[in-house]
Homo-oligomer: A and B are copies of this chain.
């Protein structure tokens, strides 16, 4: 791995640049598919499934029978692992529920917030080599806790016209209400407009390739919401000599195996430690199944030597990592000063893969520096917080005059009048 020693502040921006990738505009293809779906519904979905996924689908909805038949294809070992992850994700996300707290802002003026689940949510789960059933857990569990009434999962069929059994099993376990055999732009279009088989939803969640990403972005202009903008996955590790170089290397590699465009960064005050990590990365890499992808990502990646804590935290906040592993003796300083990160993993025994699967935190996190403005997916992502207010006669007497004065100063006479009429009636 490339080692950069004590870079000057003026070079940080360049140094921390994410690997760029050709972002040709996919708008025209998205617009074409969307327009077709608006007119032809299911027929268009089947057409594009044939064109892009090379498979003919009769029924876009996975029938109950097909879902139930996978039950005995999943090993008990895997079922138990999924159950443990489910319990932990449930208990962490349940803890994010807000209580109704009535605030009396002025005597007679009561204000409060209540959460309501978004009624219909869509969950996109990519197909391809790795069946991402863990993402089903991460998205459907908080949706269920939030009280979303319909949870529609879309995933592309494989060459045999099927969805991976583990995805089906997990979806049933966590209460997905409908599973649809459709992927890519056409899946996002179906969720955006609704078709004969697939309902229009209010918000779309989930990862995907550049086509899915472009389609999700386009769904915004039709009034839908999405979880967050997408980008390649990334990890920043800060470690000192109290850290285990073996473990750190394994974490860097686990992030790097996601894709050639993944980026990993390791910062330390110890050059000796960084060199150990580098050697360990070389050694462990040789044994990995996704060796080529992982090696490409490691090319984009950096070991950075810095001298003091303030510079280090400044650099981390500037980078705003999706995942931040922290293994240093003075961890309190960093926990206090970290402002921009998606999720933080503390200590030698907290690998990032714990958060990917089973610790309980969500793995859908802001990449590409979006952690400066966005949270990862959490219970908030599946609810609207509605405000309520109830003002008594006494209350309007207390604040009415202030409202009249302010409305008047803004030139909004009817706003003022709504209060004046009430105040007059109380004289």
Residue positions of A touching B, CB distance < 8 A: 77-78, 80-82, 84-85, 87-88, 91-92, 95-96, 101, 103, 105-106, 109, 111, 113, 116-119, 129-134, 166, 202-203, 220, 223-225, 229, 244, 246-247, 250-251, 253-254, 256-258, 284, 287-290, 294, 317, 335, 338-362, 366, 368-376, 378, 380, 383-393, 395-396, 399, 401-403, 405-407, 409-419, 421-422, 425
A78, A257, A349, most chain B CB atoms within 10 A: A349
Distance in angstroms from A262 CB to nearest chain B CB is: 11
Q: B254 near A417 (CB under 8 angstroms)?
A: yes
Q: B386 near A375 (CB under 8 angstroms)?
A: yes
Q: A78 near B405 (CB under 8 angstroms)?
A: yes
Q: Would you mind naming 20 contact pairs between A and B with Cβ atoms under 8 Å apart?
A: A80-B402, A84-B399, A84-B402, A109-B360, A111-B360, A119-B317, A130-B412, A253-B417, A254-B417, A340-B384, A342-B387, A345-B389, A346-B390, A350-B390, A352-B418, A353-B419, A358-B403, A373-B384, A375-B385, A376-B385
Instruction: Please name all residues of chain B whose beta carbon is closer than 8 Å to the beta carbon of A251 when the two chains form the complex.
Output: 418
Instruction: Please name all residues of chain B whose beta carbon is closer than 8 Å to the beta carbon of A411 when the two chains form the complex.
Output: 129-131, 289-290
Complex-state Cα separation, A368 to B87, whole angstroms? 38
CB-CB nearest in chain B for A257: B414
Contacts A78-B406, A81-B406; A387 near B344 (Cβ below 8 A): yes
Q: A343 near B386 (CB under 8 angstroms)?
A: yes
Instruction: Please name all residues of chain B whose beta carbon is closer than 8 Å to the beta carbon of A401 when the two chains form the complex.
Output: 81
Distance in angstroms from A404 CB to nearest chain B CB is: 8
Q: B130 near A360 (CB under 8 angstroms)?
A: no
Q: B77 near A410 (CB under 8 angstroms)?
A: no
Contacts A254-B418, A354-B403; A410 near B134 (Cβ below 8 A): yes
Choose one: B109, B118, B358, B395; the contact of A373 (CB below 8 Å): B118
Complex-state Cα separation, A413 to B383, whole angstroms? 35
Contacts A254-B415, A374-B225; A350 near B384 (Cβ below 8 A): no
Instruction: Please name all residues of chain B whose beta carbon is closer than 8 Å to the beta carbon of A166 when the two chains form the complex.
Output: 409
Complex-state Cα separation, A422 to B425, whole angstroms? 73
Complex-state Cα separation, A375 to B379, whole angstroms? 13
Q: B92 near A111 (CB under 8 angstroms)?
A: yes
Contacts A225-B373, A409-B131; A346 near B389 (Cβ below 8 A): yes
Question: In terms of DSSP, what is the predominant structure of the interface of chain A?
Answer: mixed
Distance in angstroms from A329 CB to nearest chain B CB is: 15
Distance in angstroms from A112 CB to nearest chain B CB is: 9
Instruction: Please name all residues of chain B whose beta carbon is closer than 8 Å to the beta carbon of A88 when the two chains form the complex.
Output: 105-106, 109, 111, 399
Q: B80 near A415 (CB under 8 angstroms)?
A: no
Contacts A386-B375, A388-B346, A411-B129; A119 near B340 (Cβ below 8 A): yes
Contacts A372-B118, A386-B344; A105 near B359 (Cβ below 8 A): yes
Q: A384 near B374 (CB under 8 angstroms)?
A: yes
Q: A95 near B106 (CB under 8 angstroms)?
A: no
Q: A359 near B389 (CB under 8 angstroms)?
A: yes
Choose one: B229, B361, B386; the contact of A338 (CB below 8 Å): B386
Q: A358 near B92 (CB under 8 angstroms)?
A: no
Instruction: Please name all residues of chain B whose beta carbon is closer than 8 Å to the beta carbon of A357 when the two chains form the complex.
Output: 402-403, 406-407, 415
Instruction: Please name all residues of chain B whose beta carbon is closer than 8 Å to the beta carbon of A361 when the two chains form the complex.
Output: 111, 387, 389
Complex-state Cα separation, A390 to B350, whole angstroms? 6
Q: A250 near B417 (CB under 8 angstroms)?
A: yes
Complex-state Cα separation, A95 to B110, whole angstroms? 13
Complex-state Cα separation, A340 to B388, whole angstroms? 12
Q: A405 near B134 (CB under 8 angstroms)?
A: no
Q: B410 near A133 (CB under 8 angstroms)?
A: yes
CB-CB nearest in chain B for A380: B380
Distance in angstroms from A246 CB to nearest chain B CB is: 6
Q: A224 near B387 (CB under 8 angstroms)?
A: no
Complex-state Cα separation, A419 to B254, whole angstroms? 10
Q: A393 near B349 (CB under 8 angstroms)?
A: yes
Known: A109-B354, A225-B373, A247-B425. 16 other contacts (CB 8 A): A80-B402, A95-B101, A119-B372, A133-B406, A220-B229, A258-B412, A338-B386, A340-B384, A343-B387, A344-B389, A353-B403, A353-B419, A354-B391, A359-B389, A375-B386, A376-B385
